[in-house]
Amino acid sequence: MEKYFVIRNSCGDTHIDVYTKEKLIKMLNELSSLHYIDDFDFDSDTNYWGDSIMIIKGKLVSPSPVQVVTTYEVE
């Protein structure tokens, strides 16, 4: 299931909230003074974002171990 990750800064702390599409739309409709970061030319330090938020659509993934075996052969 895809989720929406909302990244914001509050009092110098970075927060990431995870929403379903329905809950995100509800939250956006309830807040009227949001500014959105909508391109990749942004400061990665959220302390400079002010009241801006970033919304990323995606899903959580976890790495899984893969065993790799190397074998040699000769004639």
Residue 40 has pLDDT above 70, yes or no: no
pLDDT > 90 fraction of the chain, expressed in percent and rounded: 48
d(CA 58, CA 12): 25
pLDDT of residue 60: 85
d(CA 9, CA 15): 6
Domain spans in the chain, listed from the N-terminal domain onward: 3-58
Average pLDDT over residues 8-34: 89
d(CA 35, CA 64): 37
